[in-house]
A and B are shown apart, each in its own frame.
Chain A
């Protein structure tokens, strides 16, 4: 979490993205116009240097919603895997879990709590919930939705310490997920 916060600071300092701002109008569009979402009013939203849209109510170290749109061939940079045509939702989830495990030593030991099919703006994908412990022993939960699209790979995530914060704003996250509209090239041919 702290790492993410520092990354945010540096991302903002680079000056190529809009500065963090309070959400007054829910409808928010991606910088590359690939999607729109309704963010909760009163939260802080911020575009990271890689164009990931981040939002938090109490502070990015306490809860973060992150929305990312990546080209299919760069969907999983740490494991150097891509989203290929005909990939099944469970295979996509498998790639996402491997990518998360490659993030840190703590994440490598993550536990998958749930892994099931999900639909995001009419596209078939997955929803994975994992837990892991930080170096200070804090249990963190992370829920990730991912779907393929002709315009790339879309991922929306929610990360928060299990203690208090995860449950406190989880419903807000699910509303954001429901509000997501992908403006890209359309559904990938599904089986």
Chain B
């Protein structure tokens, strides 16, 4: 129903010329001016919500990729990173673009990041935000969208239409025009299909019916096929395909994102990265601890043992990293292996005397020591 009404509204909407440079990127009507005003207001809400990831070198790097893709829009397209592990990005009608930390962490190289930035940048240059609002406003679709989303977090129309997906036609346009941008900027376009492969894996791991970012997008499978077809004839040797360079830049991002994923209970999503040897190789030696945590949180058959092995691996690789000892201590406590529990919990308290969870650990240690008396 939503698709039908939206499609009808698109057909009725007048064509708008894409912006060609920063100078030409201005609202051309009072209505468009109002939409840009909403975008500014929404960007201000994002800023005030303290959800922007504060790491200047990372933000500058992402912005530099965007500038390479859209050199004629320098100063107009501004990219920021949002502290959220979900694989998502969105563009506001005035050129503000937001990329989730999860995307940066999950991608394997700059060319994959550039694919998403080219796509989002095209939403701006082709004025999809404004066009989408016109479509939504002029139809009953908006009511359906807002009802479906519950909207309250992001009350404005601009937010709903930017974050929760453009029409199928606009998404296809952003894919194809974005792909041309990618090629023109010299990136290795053979990496483009990988972006959608990452999304498909995420959808499967988290059991998402339709990720909200792609609520009205073409099907992922269709997009993977399109991108694969487009890039099939591309010659090797494009830029941005080095995984090692990208991994170096993203080490902190990946750790921060893992902590975020695990604190939100997104164990399966975290394991998509942690079970990849190549991904693990780019992380610090103690990263096996996070794999252990992900297994513990996932809680499938055999995960208790997998978690223990991962924690032991982390202790072996990084003997001064305290959290691995706490995790092992708790693991042994729950397995009624009190001597081992006490040993590891004590070691944790030695290594992390100011830990926030010290009181918990002290309590667990007391329990383990008390129970040790009854053990052979």
A-side residues, CB < 8 A to B, are: 2-3, 6, 79, 81, 86, 88-91, 94-95, 97-98, 101-102, 104-106, 108-109, 112, 114-117, 132-137, 191
| A118 (CB) vs chain B CBs: closest residue | B359
In angstroms, Cα B334 to Cα A111, docked, is: 28
Contact present for B48 and A133 (CB under 8 Å):
yes
**CB of A75, distance to nearest CB on chain B (Å):** 13
In angstroms, Cα B297 to Cα A91, docked, is: 10
Contact present for B49 and A116 (CB under 8 Å):
no
In angstroms, Cα B362 to Cα A116, docked, is: 11
Contact present for B153 and A105 (CB under 8 Å):
yes
Contacts A81-B265, A95-B265, A112-B356 given; does A137 touch B51 at CB 8 Å? no
In angstroms, Cα B368 to Cα A88, docked, is: 13
In angstroms, Cα B261 to Cα A79, docked, is: 12
19 contacts between A and B (CB under 8 A): A3-B152, A6-B152, A81-B265, A86-B334, A88-B364, A89-B363, A90-B364, A95-B265, A101-B263, A104-B153, A105-B51, A106-B50, A106-B51, A109-B83, A115-B360, A116-B359, A117-B363, A136-B48, A191-B364
Does B230 lie at the interface of the complex (its beta carbon under 8 Å from any beta carbon of A)?
Answer: no
Residues from chain B with Cβ under 8 Å of A104 in the complex: 153
In angstroms, Cα B48 to Cα A2, docked, is: 16
**CB of B95, distance to nearest CB on chain A (Å):** 21
Residues from chain B with Cβ under 8 Å of A133 in the complex: 48-50
In angstroms, Cα B153 to Cα A3, docked, is: 9
List CB contacts (< 8 Å) of B326-350 with chain A.
330, 333-334
B-side residues, CB < 8 A to A, are: 45, 47-51, 83-84, 152-155, 263-265, 330, 333-334, 356-357, 359-360, 363-364, 367
Contact present for B153 and A106 (CB under 8 Å):
yes
Residues from chain A with Cβ under 8 Å of B154 in the complex: 105, 135
| B264 (CB) vs chain A CBs: closest residue | A101
Contact present for B263 and A137 (CB under 8 Å):
no
Residues from chain A with Cβ under 8 Å of B47 in the complex: 137
| B50 (CB) vs chain A CBs: closest residue | A133
In angstroms, Cα B86 to Cα A101, docked, is: 12
| Those 6 A-B pairs whose CB atoms lie nearest each other, nearest first | A137-B48, A98-B265, A135-B45, A90-B360, A133-B50, A109-B51
In angstroms, Cα B364 to Cα A91, docked, is: 12
In angstroms, Cα B47 to Cα A44, docked, is: 34
Contact present for B364 and A108 (CB under 8 Å):
no
**CB of B338, distance to nearest CB on chain A (Å):** 10
**CB of A157, distance to nearest CB on chain B (Å):** 18
Residues from chain A with Cβ under 8 Å of B263 in the complex: 94, 97-98, 101
Residues from chain B with Cβ under 8 Å of A134 in the complex: 48-49
Residues from chain A with Cβ under 8 Å of B363 in the complex: 89, 117
Residues from chain B with Cβ under 8 Å of A137 in the complex: 47-49
Q: Which of A112, A135, A137 has the most CB of B within 10 A?
A: A135
Q: Which of A86, A108, A134 has the most CB of B within 10 A?
A: A108
In angstroms, Cα B367 to Cα A64, docked, is: 36
Contact present for A88 and B49 (CB under 8 Å):
no
Q: Which of A2, A109, A134 has the most CB of B within 10 A?
A: A109
| B334 (CB) vs chain A CBs: closest residue | A86
Residues from chain B with Cβ under 8 Å of A115 in the complex: 356-357, 360
